Structure 1
Amino acid sequence: MASWGKLTFAQKKCVSATGKLMQQTEMVSPGSRIGMAISGGVDSFLMLKVLTIRQAIMPFPVELMVLHINPGFDATSHAPLVDWCAENGLSAHIELTDFGPRAHTEENRKNSPCFYCAMQRRKRLFELCRDYDLTHLAFGHNADDNVVTFFMNIFQNGRVAGLGVNEPFFDGKLQVIRPTMLLDKKTVITASKQWELPIWKNICPSNGETKRDEIHDWLKSMWKNDKRIKNNVFNAITRQQVDLTRKKV
């Protein structure tokens, strides 16, 4: 039996769907150095677990490194991640910032707190990828995130676009990848619980009060009485993003 033991149905789905997407979009190659943006939430922690398994399965070597930017609401919240990385032999960069509190002050007058904080954390992640000579930056977005982003872009920006699966940045020096984009949120939550991942609560004062949350609730109301609508929307938008990536690679 493999070192990760026998997998449940949800866990197998996470591992196989991630592998399928990575292969379809030529996401990584021999010698890839992948920085994994881990927030401590269920999505990113699930990606972390799955990529450690995929690393062992891949027919060529890749390197993994955990990147965690603590937004500053709780200076000790990342302790479970530190312990998990140590237990699983993963290198990690853990950094405490004040991005979250600053996003909720007069310093940030033009943007929403979430936009400001996310922008600052994304900028710092790019800097870390440069400093550690990483070739890839992986985010744990799933199919639900992709669908919500798609409709947010329509309503707020007037453009048709979801989340990129495999995108080049800085003239191709860095690839931003989303290996778990084929997974639905329900499967992610189920598998995470079964793996007993040490996820911690998001205590940001804006959590649950964002435009993204509003659109997500609206979408849920649209397919509440007909699950076929949800399946059709998810499949259509997911296929679009995967096909766009195939044309680029």
Structure 2
Amino acid sequence: MSLYLKLKRLIGRALHRYEMLSPGDRILVALSGGADSLVLTYFLAEWRRKVRFEYELRAVHLDMGFPRGPEYEEGLSRLEEFCRGLGVPFQLLRTDCGSRAMEAAERGKPSPCFVCSWYRRKHLFRLAGEEGFNKIAFGHHRDDLVVTFFLNMCFQGELSTILPVQEMFQGRIYLIRPLILVEKSVLKAFAQKRGFPVVENPCPFSGETRRVFMERWLEEHLYTINPKVRGSVFRAIFNWRPEYLPR
């Protein structure tokens, strides 16, 4: 099966199983510039030809305010061109999320990434509320779901993870994650094959986060035990048995 058909099948399954799309939806697509968000934008744009109703898309890229070189601005131009080719309006928001995260790191805060993420979502929620978008689409994938589960278990002391669909503000906004059934490696391979304009992440903390540590640990220590472990862990999150968990 080709990468395109595999992605089409898995994304379609997620869209239908969790009822992510409805007639008249106005959807903000969080376009970071990574392979995941580019594939997300591509398939959401393409899916409009497959459904019998209309929904609106707008890709929004948040400039986090991190120090960067001219290649970043060139990357933004390529992102806009990519969206134009898909018939998806592109919007750039300049923010200070990155500088706030760096300030938190300088003050010795343990998780500058949390600060950055919190402000990033705040900008997206504000934009959606002000301009009447009822859904925000994120490029979180199958590996993100598993890694988040382990992070919350190990560092927060709870069994939880990201959701395929998440209600916010009493239903005024919903977060949707159409890539939730797709492995990261498939998304990366498809983006490379299609020559998507991936923009390098300018975040100075990107290589040293807890998430990166957990990703590496799972790849190097858990998934190497047996080829079936990766799939079993993913299925276990959807196959919880509350009667065998202590209250």
**TM-score of the superposition, structure 2-length normalised?**
0.89
Paired with 2:239 and 2:3, the residues of 1 have a C-alpha distance of 24
Paired with 2:96 and 2:163, the residues of 1 have a C-alpha distance of 28
Paired with 2:76 and 2:192, the residues of 1 have a C-alpha distance of 18
1:233 corresponds to 2:233: yes
Match of residue 103 from structure 1: 101
Paired with 1:92 and 1:210, the residues of 2 have a C-alpha distance of 29
Match of residue 245 from structure 2: none
Instruction: Decide whether the 8 Å contact of 1:69 with 1:95 is kept in 2.
Output: yes
Match of residue 153 from structure 1: 152
Query: Which stretch of the first structure deviates more once superposed, 151-160 or 217-226?
Result: 217-226
Paired with 2:239 and 2:21, the residues of 1 have a C-alpha distance of 20
Paired with 1:64 and 1:10, the residues of 2 have a C-alpha distance of 24
Work out which of the residue numbers 76, 79, 86 in structure 2 matches 1:88: 86
1:143 corresponds to 2:142: yes
1:210 maps to amino acid: T
1:123-162 deviation line (CA, Å, top 9, x unaligned): 0000011122011001000000000000111011111111
Distance apart, 1:11 and its partner CA: 1.4
Work out which of the residue numbers 57, 69, 89 in structure 2 matches 1:64: 57
- Relative distance call for 1:197 and 1:227 in structure 2 (3 A) is same
Paired with 1:190 and 1:71, the residues of 2 have a C-alpha distance of 26
Distance apart, 1:110 and its partner CA: 3.5
1:234 maps to amino acid: F
Paired with 1:119 and 1:108, the residues of 2 have a C-alpha distance of 17
Match of residue 184 from structure 1: 183
Q: Say how many residue pairs are matched.
A: 233
Paired with 1:185 and 1:166, the residues of 2 have a C-alpha distance of 19
Match of residue 217 from structure 1: 216
Paired with 2:84 and 2:21, the residues of 1 have a C-alpha distance of 25
1:12 corresponds to 2:5: yes
Paired with 1:111 and 1:96, the residues of 2 have a C-alpha distance of 25
Paired with 2:40 and 2:60, the residues of 1 have a C-alpha distance of 13
1:103 maps to amino acid: A
Instruction: Decide whether the 8 Å contact of 2:166 with 2:174 is kept in 1.
Output: yes
Match of residue 173 from structure 1: 172
Instruction: Decide whether the 8 Å contact of 2:31 with 2:41 is kept in 1.
Output: yes
1:23 corresponds to 2:8: no
Structure 2 unaligned regions, length at least 5: 241-247
Q: Percent of counterpart pairs with the same letter?
A: 33
| SS of equivalent residue, structure 1 residue 171 | helix
Instruction: Decide whether the 8 Å contact of 1:32 with 1:63 is kept in 2.
Output: yes
Distance apart, 1:207 and its partner CA: 1.0
Instruction: Decide whether the 8 Å contact of 1:18 with 1:180 is kept in 2.
Output: yes
Distance apart, 1:236 and its partner CA: 2.1
Aligned CA RMSD, in angstroms, stands at 1.7
Paired with 1:203 and 1:94, the residues of 2 have a C-alpha distance of 16
| SS of equivalent residue, structure 2 residue 41 | helix
Paired with 2:27 and 2:108, the residues of 1 have a C-alpha distance of 35
Distance apart, 1:13 and its partner CA: 1.2
Paired with 2:93 and 2:160, the residues of 1 have a C-alpha distance of 31
Paired with 1:235 and 1:9, the residues of 2 have a C-alpha distance of 24
Instruction: Decide whether the 8 Å contact of 1:29 with 1:62 is kept in 2.
Output: yes
Instruction: Decide whether the 8 Å contact of 1:70 with 1:78 is kept in 2.
Output: no
Distance apart, 1:111 and its partner CA: 4.9
1:141 maps to amino acid: H
Paired with 2:109 and 2:17, the residues of 1 have a C-alpha distance of 40
Query: Which stretch of the first structure deviates more once superposed, 219-228 or 148-157?
Result: 219-228
Paired with 2:139 and 2:18, the residues of 1 have a C-alpha distance of 16
